[in-house]
């Protein structure tokens, strides 16, 4: 794990993975047989109490500092939301519920069910746990059963009809385990992880080709210095884009793939006209209410204390 300021000006890898969230386990797996560069625009989750402990749940979302692991934004229709800005991605700031996909979903995706089940166990050894059933959790479970949401499946990771107690990524001591923890499976000699590495462009070869082929990326470190990373020559080498629901289409468009008229309006050279890139964004509706306790507050990732009451009055 290194700061991007230490990156060479030019480097070469078999795989380049953009985004250190959900693709951490993929980067770890690829590193057993290939060299991998994993680029994360945020910092490390380790040592940040607002991420790592259940007792601080929600504070990372309330932290509006520049070093916060979450980046708040407001949609054009006025909905406040947040995107992760930290190694481990959304698993560092979400509620930590863990469940397997349904068998129907796996079939529809065309995946090998045996390999999927092996992968579940691989993940669960590191990041999934059985949660404690305290008073309010038991009340919710019993209420669902009384309302006819049956059968009672007890505790299970499986996706089942009825009521169940699912998994959590918080262990018995209240510590959060994230996608970043799965990097422990990686070959450290083949995986290069750069923090505070903001990718600005994917590089494509287009001359003499029927379709563009990605062959590298341009990224900047926290000091604003530019670095380039290229793929080594090889039939299976790839740039893997996983920068989130907002970051991935944004980066494609910055790289010249997207609606041609939109790219022209921003003086971006067109690599490929793809009208649907960046369109049709939707999310599940949610209302969150944070109620500060008297004298309460939170500590941001820089160790500074903030009073929530002052924060909410200022908004």
pLDDT in tens, 17-42: 999 999 999 999 999 999 999 999 99
Q: How many domains does the chain have?
A: 1
Has residue 162 been placed in a domain? yes
- Residue 303, C-beta contacts closer than 8 angstroms, at least 6 positions apart: none
Q: What band does 281 get if pLDDT is binned at 50, 70 and 90?
A: confident
Task: Check: pTM over 0.85? Answer yes or no.
Answer: yes
Per-residue pLDDT at 60 exceeds 70: yes
Q: Where are the beta strands (DSSP E) in the chain?
A: 2-3, 10-13, 15-18, 36-39, 70-74, 80-84, 97-98, 152-155, 163-165, 167-168, 191-195, 198-205, 213-220, 226-231, 238-241, 257-258, 272-273, 297-299, 305-307
Residue 5 has pLDDT above 50, yes or no: yes
Domain that holds residue 134: 97-168
More confident residue, 150 or 67: 150
Rank 44-58, 112-126, 270-284, 298-312 by mean pLDDT and report only the highest.
Answer: 112-126
298: which residues sit within 8 A by CB, 6+ positions away?
50, 56, 59, 62, 63, 305, 306, 308
**Looking at the domain assignment, is residue 138 inside a domain?**
yes
Q: Does position 311 have pLDDT exceeding 80, yes or no?
A: no
Residue with tokens 């078999």: 14
Residue 308's pLDDT band (cuts 50, 70, 90):
very low
Residue 108 lies in a domain: yes
Note the pLDDT tens digit of each residue in 264-274: 999 999 999 99
Residue 125 is assigned to a structural domain of this protein: yes
Report if residue 292 sits inside a domain: no
Whole-number CA gyration radius for the chain: 21
Note whether 19 and 39 are within 8 A (CB): yes
- Tens of pLDDT, residues 237-254: 999 999 999 999 999 999
As a whole number of angstroms, the distance between CA 265 and CA 260 comes to: 9
Examine residue 152 and state whether it is found in any structural domain, yes or no.
yes
Asked whether residue 102 is domain-assigned, the answer is yes
Q: Is the pLDDT of residue 315 over 50?
A: no
Q: What percent of the chain has pLDDT over 90?
A: 76
Of 147, 165, 144, the residue nearest 156 (C-alpha): 165
Q: What is the pLDDT of residue 133?
A: 92
Whether residue 79 has pLDDT greater than 90 = no
Is 126 part of a structural domain of the chain?
yes
């Amino acid at each position: 794990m290194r700061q991007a300021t230490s990156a060479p000006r030019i480097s070469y890898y078999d795989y380049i993975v953009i985004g250190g969230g959900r693709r951490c386990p993929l980067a770890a797996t690829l590193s057993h047989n290939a060299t991998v560069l994993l680029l994360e625009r945020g910092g490390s989750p380790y040592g940040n109490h607002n991420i790592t402990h259940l007792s601080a749940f929600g504070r990372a979302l309330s932290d509006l500092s520049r070093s916060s692991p979450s980046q708040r934004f407001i949609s054009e229709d006025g909905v406040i939301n947040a995107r992760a800005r930290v190694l481990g991605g959304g698993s560092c700031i979400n509620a930590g519920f863990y469940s397997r996909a349904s068998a129907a979903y796996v079939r529809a995706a065309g995946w090998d069910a045996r390999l999927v089940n092996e992968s579940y166990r691989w993940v669960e050894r590191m990041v999934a746990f059985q949660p404690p059933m305290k008073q309010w959790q038991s009340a919710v479970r019993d209420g669902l059963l009384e309302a006819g949401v049956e059968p009672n499946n007890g505790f299970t990771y499986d996706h089942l009809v009825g009521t169940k107690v699912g998994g959590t990524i918080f262990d018995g001591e209240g510590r959060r385990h994230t996608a970043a923890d799965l990097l422990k499976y990686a070959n450290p000699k083949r995986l290069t992880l750069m923090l505070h590495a903001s990718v600005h462009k994917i590089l494509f070869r287009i001359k003499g080709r029927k379709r563009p082929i990605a062959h590298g990326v341009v990224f900047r470190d926290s000091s604003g210095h530019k670095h380039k990373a290229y793929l080594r020559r090889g039939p299976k080498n790839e740039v893997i884009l996983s920068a989130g629901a907002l970051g991935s289409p944004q980066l494609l468009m910055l790289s010249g793939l997207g609606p041609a008229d939109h790219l022209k309006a921003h003086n971006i050279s067109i690599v490929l006209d793809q009208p649907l890139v960046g369109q049709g964004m939707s999310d599940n509706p949610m209302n969150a209410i944070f109620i500060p306790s008297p004298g309460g507050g939170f500590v941001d990732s820089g160790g500074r204390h903030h009073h929530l009451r002052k924060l909410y009055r200022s908004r």
